[in-house]
């Protein structure tokens, strides 16, 4: 089985909104077998102050957990897509916009879902390819990752701020930590980046 090494990059929340990265590996062997390891990047451009941002993020993550891990009957692909759809619909009313990019690594397969402008990109053997580029709809894909693949889940603002050449350089470095080191100064360099977030 492939090992996973992850890294995350998020800007400080502010007037431009907030982003959070969530990673979860179930302790329960049955949950791990049928739901695998979950990675999610969540963001909104709705500005909130301090503790409200943390609370909102936790609420969103909590709902995503409930929906994805709550019913173990559905196939992981369907469960992830339905969870993202439900959570995005629920929070859209109060927040206006919600971005979610999520991937679950289950039994050698990676399932990815995106909505709200977020994207999922893969770097394999030096080549960059977009797996998902969402708008307002919820879109999904699945595939078989290979040793050495780097997968990037990120918000729309991340792709607007960081040039494609830099993303390619970071992902072809072959290391999640190195990629995060390349992205960090650009994410934290100026104000107005609150809704920038990425999981590698």
CA distance 64 to 88: 9
SS3 96: coil
Burial label, 148 (beta-carbon count in 10 A; 0-12, 13-18, 19+): exposed
In this predicted model, what pLDDT tens digit does every residue of 75-126 receive, in sequence order? 999 999 999 999 999 887 777 688 999 999 999 999 999 999 999 999 999 9
| Location of structure tokens 């104000």 | 191
Separation of alpha carbons 149 and 91, rounded Å: 32
Q: What is the pTM of this model?
A: 0.92
What are the angstrom distances between the C-alpha of 160 and each of 90, 98, 129, 197? Answer: 26, 17, 17, 12
Summarize pLDDT for 160-184 with one digit per residue, the tens: 999 999 999 999 998 999 999 999 9
- Please report where in the chains the tokens 């995060």 appear, as a residue: 180
List the beta strands (DSSP E) in 89-167: 99-106, 109-115, 119-124, 127-133, 139-143, 150-154
């Amino acid at each position: 089985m492939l090992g996973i090494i992850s890294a995350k990059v998020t800007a400080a929340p502010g007037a431009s909104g907030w982003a959070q990265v969530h990673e979860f590996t179930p302790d329960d062997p049955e949950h791990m077998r049928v739901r695998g390891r979950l990675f999610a990047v969540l963001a909104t451009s709705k500005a909130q102050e301090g503790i409200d941002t943390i609370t909102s993020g936790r609420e969103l993550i909590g709902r995503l957990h409930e929906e994805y891990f709550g019913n173990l009957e559905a196939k992981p692909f369907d469960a992830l897509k339905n969870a993202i759809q439900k959570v995005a619909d629920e929070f859209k009313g109060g927040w206006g916009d919600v971005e979610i990019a999520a991937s679950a690594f289950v039994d050698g397969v990676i399932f990815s879902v995106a909505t709200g402008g977020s994207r999922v990109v893969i770097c394999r053997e030096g080549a960059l390819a977009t797996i998902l580029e969402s708008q307002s709809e919820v879109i999904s894909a699945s595939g078989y990752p290979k040793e050495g693949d780097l997968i990037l889940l990120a918000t729309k603002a991340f792709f607007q701020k960081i040039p494609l050449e830099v993303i390619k350089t970071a992902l072809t470095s072959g290391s999640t930590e190195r990629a995060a080191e390349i992205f960090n100064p650009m994410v934290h360099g100026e104000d107005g980046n609150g809704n920038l977030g990425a999981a590698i």
